[in-house]
Structure formats: C-alpha cells, structure tokens
Structure 1
Amino acid sequence: MKRIGSIEINVHLKDTETKRFNNENKSKQFTLPIPNGELKDWADKEAIQTDRERFGPGENGKRVIIKNQAEKDLEKRLYRFNGFNALVSEKISVNRSVPDARSEKCKQRKYLAKLPSVSVILIFYEEHFHTLLRSIHSIINRTPKELLHQIVLVDDYSSKESLKAPLDGYISEHFPPIIKIVRNQKRLGLIGARLAGAKSSTGEVLVFFDSHIEVNYNWLPPLLEPITINSKICTCPLVDGVAHNDFKYRIHRNGARGGLNWRFSYKQLPLFPEDKIQSNRCHIEDPVMMGGLFAISKAFFWDLGGYDDGLDIWGAEQFELSFKIWMCGGMILDVPCSHVAHIFRGPMDERPSPRDFNFLTRNQKRVAEVWMDEYKQYMYMRDPEYAETDAGNLTRMLAVRERLKCKSFDWYMKTVAYDFLIKYPPIDPPSYANGAIQSLKYMQYCLDTMGEREGNRVELYPCAKSLIWPHDNQNWVLSADRVLAARHENLCLNIGKHTNERDMPVWMWKCVNGTYNNQFFYYDRKHNWLVHGQHTHLCLEVIRENGKPQVVANECISSRRRQRWKFGTVNNTMLDNFFHNMPTNKNNKNISPRYYDYDSAN
C-alpha cells in the first residue's frame, strides 16, 4: 500500500487481486426496491410487427451504399460537412424501421403502469435536416403517447436555411402540437442550449438527447421506472450505434461502465461479472454517464442546480453532473432494456471555435475546483495550462454543494468509482520515455491513434503544440513493461508475426502486460530508433504511400533517416538499465534479445 498525498492506493495489484479488490469493495447500498404497483406491458407489438414487414433503403436498420458514381462528389462533400454520410441519410426514409434491440428477457418484462410524463430535449446546431427529422419521427413513433408530454427542439443559432422556415413548416404539417422549438439568439453551446431546453420544459422527467439518434422499441418505460421508485436516480439507455458511413443500425449487447482518467478524458470500462447483461440485472450502477443520452427528474435536476451555468460550449458537463448526482444523494443507473442508437461522427471539416479562449480547460478546472477536492492536484500536475486558467466565479455551485450536504470526492472514488485508482493511478508509474513521438524525417508529423480502437493501424498526424504534454491521441509511453502504449488507452503497438516482407503495417492492439514478443519495444538513443521485438531487428519507419505518410516496420538501417524518432521526454537513467532484470520465459531462460548492442552498432 502506498500513500499519495492523502490518498492510499495499492500500486501492485495484479488481475486476480483487482477482481478480489472489486468484489470486496463493491457497495451494496445502491439497491433498487422491487416495483410496488400495477404493472403493464408498454410495448406496441402491432407497430413492431408492422415495422418488420417494411422494405426499402435502410429499413430494419440495414446499411445503404451509394453506387451511383455521379453522386460521389456530393456524397463526399456532405460527409465532410456533417461527419456522417448525409447523402445516405437522404436515401433512407425519415420514418424508417429499426431492428428490435431488446433481449428476450427484456421483451417479457412489464413496468409500472403509472409513470411520469416526459419532456424530450434535443439540441441541434447546423444539423442535417433529414437526420434531425428521423430523430423526431423515431421518438414520436416509439414513445407511448400518454407518457410523451412534449419534445423541445433547441436550435443553438444555426445558420442553415433548412433549419428555419422549412423545419417550422414540416413540424407544423407532420407532427402534433407537443413539439416546441426554442431558438437561441446567440451561440450558447451544448451546455447553455440544454439549460435553455430544460427551462422551457414542463414534463415531470427530462430526457436529454443529441439530435442524431434513433430510439428503439419500448425505450422509455425502462428508463422511467427507476425514477418513479426513487426520484434521485438518473437513468441512461444502452447506446447502440448508427454507422456514420452507411447508417447500419448496430446493436450493442454488452454495456460498459463510464470512467475518467487524470486528464479528464471519458473512458469506458468493462462491466464487473455480476453486472453482465445476461445476469438478469435490470440496472447497472454507472460512475460516469456518457452524457449525450439520459433521463432525470426535472425537480432533481434543478435541485442540483442544473448544469453549472459557468460551463461554456461543451466539455466536462457529464463529469460535473455525474459527480454531483452521486455525491449529493443520487444514483446513475444504466438500463440494458432501453436502447437508443446514436451516430458517432466520422471525419469532418473542422468548424471554427465559437470562443477565442480554451473553454474546455476552463470547464474542466471549474469541475475540479468545485467537486474533486484534493484529487484535483492529479489533474493539474498533468497539464501546466490549468495553473494559467481562471476558473471564474464558483460561488453558485459551491453553495449548491453546501446546501445539499454533498459527500466528499474521496467518498465517491472509494465507494462509487472504487477501481479507478487501480486502472488510472494518480501518479503515473516511472517509464522509459513518454510524450509525443515525432518523426525526425518529417518533423511536422507525430504518431497518432486518430481516436481509433484496437485493430487499427497507428497513423501520423501534425504534431501537438507540446511534445511533452500532447493531447491523448499523441501521448505515448514506453512503459516499465517495455511496451509502446497509448498512455490513456489500453492500446499497444504491435507488428505481428515477422516475415521477410517489407513495409509491415504497425497495428494497435490491446496491451498484454508482461508479454515481451510482439509488443516489445526499445528506444535506441544513439540512432533514434524505435526497435521492435525480442529477436528481430525491425524499426518503425515512415514511408510515402499515395502521397500520404504511413508508419511501417522494416529492417533497421542506420543511414535511413526515415527510421529516426524523438520522444517528448526520455528517462536516460532508466534506459541505461533497460535490459537489467529482464523477465524469464517458461524454460527459465532470460529473454533479453540476442543482438541488443545498439549503442555500439554501426
């Protein structure tokens, strides 16, 4: 056990110890009583059956591919503006059917017959017209009329003409009068727009959605029942995906727990065994909500002070709301029987920032100052920009915390988010090198994950302003396990089985600690090489492929500048002893590479 400031953590927990730690510390106080009252099957079976019989582009969530070559330029242009294939969206009915994402157990469940009324709040800014309409149609079609009190559309000062008179006309012609449009007179951003929508809502429960979603069958009653039982519960659906390239509806069978690292990045953590969807649990405690789709009692939302109105545009708002829900007497529950699909955007043209200052860092510091107590220091030590950032007036939110007698952040970390300190240690363990990895041949480029997950190739992207403190996509570490890992993701560089071929691709795969073969890397300071493998002589290299720089692995050649790399920070003392105390294999043979004499190599 090691004390860090006033925080105790175990810095050497292995997988089996972690599981034991989780089981011993999992709180039993967050239990939901069995519903007391008349139950009802809310599912509209007739509508579900009718939808199954529909056919046409995209029906039942099937993908759509643009095959007409004459439309390719338009497809690309709309894609880049929206971050998804808007031309495909226009080929699909705004009223399309989706696959029933519910498990068989969820289909059999009944819910309380008496549930509160709902205001669904959709925020949009320059949204694609047909995609916004599909979001509205799905809510109207798959929500019980007796529960849907209103839909509030908040236009955050969009400039697109289609979102003005044409939108008003379509809503007036096709939808009931329960839809209300709020038009901001200046750009407020996501947080301000959500507050504007909440102030205009009159339902008992607020449901916040992004504007490019499709709700699934019987999505609402599972979210409302826990709130009916306990008004201080916030519920989140299981988030399915709508593919940004072809609009295929992708059902997510397994959930995930929300988390954060010490650079204020939202992370998804695996469920504990007892929380698996297949285990008959109807609700799963979630330390941090994803933030884009959730339901909360209007009274509880405002009792918590709503969102901190000092937060600007977007960023850190899901952490602020998550912390104060848990710390101030509430709970966040993921509800596997409720499915809502969301389009996670792909590549798109950069939009100008609505502010001339770093609003994201300011938002993060506001949340840290109000809610994170002594733990905020671990955020600040990772980014010097926090020290230079003015968090602004915190009086209102500090008063909310005092009025509600909220618990400490230490309580939250040890009772709700009890495994975060293990997965993301407040003090990073020593590493051989870390920071951005810059090409010395093409110095404008650095290794970048591009926000991708395992199974994708590592790529090159223009370097962050700081090589020592880069953003997460370019923050790498040559760890004590002698792997080259994305510092804030469980991703390690991997070349795979070695052959005699040239220009071998470099992949990102889940890190396997203690594995010194396909994920083994060494940094040769004399040649600035990133050397891969135990018994090979391969170096990372930059090549040009169709005019674009690519990262590959080739035989190390000292004269080849394309194989030279620079780390943001190098721990020379540790690198001097890189091959000392190397682990042994099953035959008790030292697995140090047979050729590692790079400091004297030609």
Structure 2
Amino acid sequence: MKVWMAALICLLFVPALLILYVSVEMLLDTNNEFDRTVMNVQLYVGPSTRSVTGLWKPMPKKGVAFYKRNRPGVQQFQKSEKSRDAQFAEQKAGVQSKQDISIEMNKKHPSNSSYYTGQPGEKLVKIPFFVDSRDPDGPGEGGEAVQVNVSQLSSEEKARYDEGWRHNSFNQYVSDMISVHRSLPDAWSPECKKRNFRTDLPETSVIIIFHNEAWSVLLRSVHSVLSRTPTHLLREVILVDDFSTMDHLKRPLDEYWKDNPRVKIVRAQKREGLTRARLLGYNVATAPLLVFFDSHIECYPGWYEPLADRITTNPTVIAYPSIEVIDDNTLHTIPNHNVDVKGVFRWGDLSFAYAPLTDDERRARTSPSDPINSPTMPGGLFAVDRDFFTKLGTYDPGLAYWGGENLELSFKAWMCNGSVELIPCSHVGHIFRKSNPIKWMTYLGVTNVARVAAVWMDKYANYFLERNVFKVGDYGDVSERQRLRESLHCKSFDWFMKNISHMKDPYVEVVHAGELICKASGLCLDSLAHNHGQPLLYTCHKLGGNQFWYISRDGQVFQDNLKVCSRSQTDVIIDSNCRDTWNLTQDEQLLNIPTNRCLEGGATTGKANDQRAVTLQPCDPDNPRQKWKTTPRRTDVDFPRYS
C-alpha cells in the first residue's frame, strides 16, 4: 500500500513541481528571450499528453506569459508590460508619419512578438519578430510613410537599423514596425471601376522566389497575395527558396506556413539564380494561370482580376501590372491612376526601361483603363497562361542568376504570335533598391543578354555588341534555343523593330558610335546616366556605358533614350524628350543648331569643376576645347558564335 501511495503522489505532484519550476524561472528573468527557460525544459511528457502551453491560460501577473494559440505545441512569447513598453519606446523613438502612428505605451500589443512553436518531442523553433496586428491606425497603414529619427535611437537599436540596411539594401527596421497585413489604398481609377471583368476567371499559382529575404517583407508579400486574391481563384502560393543561408528562412518559415495548405515551399539544393528558381516553381505549379512575383512586393486590392481577365480573353498575352514604387526607406507607396508608359529597352546593355507613349499610341486608346501594348516588360511581376508559357519554351535554362530573361520572354511573345501588355487596372507595389545586396559574378548579366541577342535579335545584335564586346565572353551553346525559334515559326527582329518597338533603326541612322573626346584635355563626354542632368568630362575608361555616344545622320547626339540638348544659350542638358540637332563640322566642332553655338569642354579657369564642365560657346575653329574626336560607326563587328 505504501508503495502504491508513493507512486500516486509522484504521479500527481512531479508534473506540478515541474510547472512551478518553469514559472519561477520566468518570473525571475522577465527579459529572458525564452532560451534558458523553455529550451532546457522537456515540455512534452508522453504521447497522450498535450504541451504545457495547451494546459495553461494567460498569466494575469506581469512577466513572461504563455498564450494559448490555435494549435497544440505553440508558445507565444510575451514580455512584461514594463519591458514591452520600454522596448516600444526605444524602437519607436522619433518615428513620424503623415498619420498619427504614436504607440500607446500602456496598451498591450500581444501580436507584436516573437514566439516559439514546434511539434511535441521536437526542439522548439523561434519565429522571428513581426507585427501581426490589423490595427487601422498602425504604422504604415494605407501605404503611408514611416520616418525614423535615427539620431534618437539607442546604440542597440541603431545597430539593428544599420544591420537591416546592410543585409537588404532597404529599411528592414521600418518594415519590422509595419504589420504584415497592412492596408493599402484603393488602386482602381474611376475608369477601372466602370469596367466589367469576366466572372469565369481561372485559378492561379503565384510563384514567389526568395533568397535571404527579410522576414517581415516576405510575410507581407505572401499575406498580400492571400488576402487580396479571390479565395476561389487562388490555388496555391509557391515559395521557392533559392538556397537561402539565413536561419529564419528555414524551419521557422516551414513552421509559420505549415497550417496553410495553399502555401507550398520548394527549396533549391544549390544556388540557382532567379531564372532557374522560377523554373523550379513552374515545375510544381498546377494552376492554368501562372503569376511570377519577386519577394518584396505588396498586392493592391483588385490586383488579380484585371490580369486574369485579359489573359482569359487572349491566352497569348503576357500581362504585367502597373508596378508601384514602395520606397526603400519609408515603405511609402501610392498607386498611379494615370498609367501612360510602356516598356522598352536600352541598346547599350539591353536593360529594361519605361518610355512615354507616343501621341499615336495615346490617341488609339479609348480609355485610360485600356491595356497598353508594351514591347518589353520588367520581368519581376507578370502573369502568363501556363500552356502559352510552355509553348514558348519557358525560360532559357542557360540564363544564369538574373538578367535578360524579361527580354527573352518579351521578344518571344511578340515574335512568336503573342504579345506583352501593361494592365493599368492591376497594381502591385515593389521595393526598388538602389543597390543589390546579393552578389554574383561580374558581367553575368551581360553574358545573359548576349545569349538573348544571339538567338533573337538577328543583325541588330551587333548594335549591342559594339558597346560590350569585351564583356560578352562565352555565353554558351544557344543552338537549342535557335531551333525553338525555328519550330515556332517566329517573325524576324526587324519585324519587331518596325511594327512593335518603333525605336530608331540604328543601322540606318547612326554614323558615329563611340567616345566623344575633347582634344584639349583628352577627357570623355560622360552622361552620368542623369536624365535632366548636365554632362561632364571624365577620364576615358574605355568601358562604353555612360561614355558611349551615337551621332545619327539627322543630327541627334544621343545615348539610348538620352539626348544632348541646349537648355539655354550656354547650358547643356541630358534629356529624354528634347529634339536638338547638331552638326559635326569639318573643323571637328559640334554645332548646336538651335543656338548656333559650339560644344566646349573645360574652361580657362583653374578650378577642377570648371575643367570638367561642358557648355555652349560662340564657335571658334581655333579653340581646341571645341574640337571633338569621334569614332565612325564600325561595320566589321561580328557577333561571336559559340558551340
């Protein structure tokens, strides 16, 4: 009997003592991040026993509390009100916005926390800090800007602020303050609200590629898709992890999404790069309509229906939304209700650029909500019919990392009996970074576009090559892609140029191509890639780029879509819309026709800035600062072939 009584006492009181021990440990250290207390205690006792968390209710006392969540095995970590208030006061110091986003320090924020989760018997997983609330007055709601006065941050918070910028090239600190469910304003213009979209829209697979993405930004991207896509039309969201190395994108991400059957995670076994990672997503997608997104986006309300409507009407259309800027510092975003641009490309590096619609294109539109024929697309956000994407040969698997895939798909669509359209009624925000935190091999983007040029651009490929011949290198075997083009009976690139792009034919108009060297100083004219800025003289670097100029037969001095023009009788400007003409005289001068003055490099003063200045001055055939060395257009450039 004594043995039986002793066993009963142990059975009843040992679990109670264990729970009491955990409680005391928590109360002794309210600032503990849960590591010492929870991770060293076996929470799972037996196969039929729920986790300790499932047995506890929220503790009424201040201190660390467990909160019962909607499934067993999940512990939500909460600091005491005092420590939480201190945390928010420190983090939100100096925060300003167009809206009142001051934090009520006496108000509980149970959603603003890290928490631990895991299956019984497994090591718990810490879910990183994020804001899960749906407070309409919270920071960044409605797409509003969040400003941080960095000077008021503590040294610890300043270090976290700097680390976010270093890892992401955007303000992760601000992103972490904004709910992953934040609201965005109504994006539809009055014309879009009048349109009647089809009701027989297809289901979609949304494919999002990420590599070492910030936690709050990735979650906000996915939640915006989940909450702003009609439930019956969203078959799945496929997250493709391109071999991330950050811990929060491993088990924590799996645990966070494991109870949502529509979110699937595909993990690359090695670094694939954007293009090949998208193909991994394509291979597991099951819906008839595919949407490809970057991992730092936010869908506006009503983003999906206009895209799906257009593709359902014409499955050979590749459709992309109006891409709204999410500021990389404040995360401010606002929709553009007057979309009147199209996608083009720069000849120098075959990169994407926006260009205004021509007068004829504007007149052809009956409404601002009409789709816009776009010669190219940016590539980070678009929708496509799965069968049509397959017919086009998907992506060229020889394209490494990223770069060129958007042009390849654009050229294929137009030349192989399809089209690319910008859909003004669809709006998706995108964080545009000033630099890419992810490093890759030098000139890899140039090698990619060289593959595209070799397959699709015919004789026009030389226009790209003459500026990049030293960068191209071995772009690999393209014979399979050339056979694909033949099998699809695609049109020529000359047809694309004359019927879709309407860009200048470089082989007809350009007579000089290369550097413009001021003979007095030996320095090169450099645009600095500044639209509406002033060109300057810089040491010639022989790399083309901003120092590579074209002089056309009709007197245009230009660089892709940037032209050299007069702003006054003396000032010179780089502008995409001006139409000044120039005359290259027998005295090697560049005569500006509107002002009847000549381009002059440098000045007589000894100031360094003046020596780099470029102005218009009265023409003097004996002035060496007005003499420019130009390069006649090469006709012997031949695109290299590799097998």
TM-score, scaled relative to structure 2: 0.66
Counterpart of 1:58 (choices 124, 140, 151) is 140
Name the SS for the 1:88 alignment partner.
helix
SS in structure 2 at match of 1:249: coil
Counterpart for residue 338 of structure 1: 426
**How far, CA to CA, are the matches of 1:178 and 1:212 in structure 2?**
19
- Which position in structure 1 is the counterpart of 2:465? 380
8 Å CA contact 2:325, 2:334 repeated in 1: yes
Taking a change above 3 Å as real, the CA distance of residues 245 and 596 of structure 1, as seen in their structure-2 partners, is: farther
Residues 440 and 561, structure 1, Cα contact 8 Å, conserved in 2:
no
Structure 1 equivalent of residue 178 of structure 2 = 92
The 3 A distance-change label for structure 1 pair 332 and 535 is closer
Match of 1:158 among 244, 247, 255: 244
* AA at the equivalent of 1:470: G
Counterpart of 1:254 in structure 2: which amino acid?
A: V
CA-to-aligned-CA distance 1:151-183 (integer Å, 9 cap, x gap): 01111111111211222222235xx21111111
Check conservation: 1:117, 1:203, Cα contact below 8 A.
Answer: yes
Corresponding position of 1:13? none
Structure 1 residues 495 and 287, CA gap change in structure 2 (3 angstroms): closer
Q: For 1:481 and 1:291, locate their aligned partners in 2 and report how far apart those are by CA, in whole Å.
A: 34
CA shift digits 1:424-456 (9 cap, x unpaired): x34663469736899989x9x99563x5543x6
Per the alignment, residue 406 of structure 2 pairs with 318
Check the 8 A contact 2:345/2:351 in 1, yes or no: yes
| Contact 1:111 1:221 (C-alpha < 8 Å) held by counterparts | yes
Q: Map 1:498-513; keep pairs closer than 5 Å.
A: 509-510=575-576, 512-513=578-579
| 1:59-138 matches, cutoff 5 A | 59-69=141-151, 70=153, 71-72=157-158, 74-138=160-224
SS in 1 for 2:136: coil
1:557, distance to aligned residue in structure 2 (A): 2.9
Aligned to 1:254: 339
Q: Residue 498 of structure 2: which of 414, 430, 449 is its match?
A: 414
Q: Structure 1's 347 and 521: CA in aligned 2 closer, same or farther, altered over 3 A?
A: farther
SS of corresponding position for 2:578: coil
**C-alpha displacement of 1:492:** 4.4
The amino acid that maps onto 2:504 is L
Deviations 1:518-566, CA, capped at 9 Å, x for gaps: xx999x999xxxx9x979999877xxxxxxxxxxxxxx33544554459
**Cα distance in structure 1, aligned partners of 2:412 and 2:625:** 58
How far apart are 1:509 and its partner, in Å?
Answer: 4.5
Q: How far, CA to CA, are the matches of 2:203 and 2:162 in structure 1?
A: 42
- Give distance in 1, aligned partners of 2:600 and 2:134: 54
By how many angstroms is 1:598 displaced?
3.2
- Contact 1:103-1:337 within 8 A present in 2 as well: yes
Task: Identify if the C-alpha distance between structure 1 residues 80 and 379 changes in structure 2 by more than 3 Å, giving closer, same or farther.
Answer: same
Matched residues, number = 484
Q: 2:580 aligns with which of 510, 514, 517?
A: 514
1:402 matched to 2:486: yes
The answer for the alignment partner of 2:515 in structure 1 is: 434
What does 1:493-572 align with in structure 2 at a 5 Å threshold? 509-510=575-576, 512-514=578-580, 556-560=603-607, 563-564=610-611
SS in 1 for 2:424: strand
CA distance 1:564–1:427, change in 2 (3 Å) = farther
Please list every run of 5 or more consecutive structure 1 residues that lacks an aligned counterpart in the other structure: 1-50, 499-503, 542-555, 568-577, 579-590
SS in 2 for 1:267: strand
Partners of 1:540 and 1:95 lie apart in 2 by 55
Equivalent of 1:468, from 542, 553, 556?
A: 542
* Aligned residue type for 1:290: P
- 2:444 equivalent in structure 1: 359
Counterpart position of 1:598: 623
What does residue 184 of structure 1 align with?
268
Say if 1:478 and 1:125 are closer, same or farther in 2 by CA, change over 3 A.
same
User: What does the per-residue CA deviation read over 1:249-282, in whole Å, with 9 as the maximum and x for residues that have no partner?
Assistant: 1322223111123331322221134644773552
Q: Conserved in 2, the CA contact under 8 Å of 1:436 and 1:476?
A: no
Counterparts of 1:437 and 1:339 in 2: how far apart (Å)?
Answer: 47
Partner of 1:235: 319
The share of aligned pairs that are identical, in percent, is 35
Give RMSD over aligned pairs. 4.1
Structure 2: distance between partners of 1:480 and 1:598: 25
Equivalent residue number for residue 27 of structure 1:
none
Query: Equivalent residue for 1:290?
Result: 378
Structure 1 residues 305 and 482 mapped into 2: Cα distance closer, same or farther (>3 Å)? closer
Pairwise CA distance, 1:122: 0.7
Between 208-217 and 67-76, report the one with greater CA deviation: 67-76
TM-score (norm 1): 0.70
- Where do residues 152-231 of structure 1 align in structure 2 (5 Å cutoff)? 152-172=238-258, 176-231=260-315
Higher RCO (CA < 8 A, seq sep 6+):
1
Q: Specify the code of the residue in structure 2 equivalent to 1:415.
A: N
Query: In the superposition, relative to structure 1, how do residues 497 and 83 fare at CA in structure 2: closer, same or farther (>3 Å)?
Result: farther
- 3-state SS of paired residue (1:370): helix
Output the CA distance in 2 between the equivalents of 1:75 and 1:508: 37
Structure 1 residue 482, shift from structure 2 partner: 9.0
Judged with a 3 Å threshold, the aligned counterparts in structure 2 of structure 1 residues 296 and 411 are, in CA distance, closer, same or farther, namely: same
* Alignment partners' CA distance in 1, 2:173 and 2:519: 38
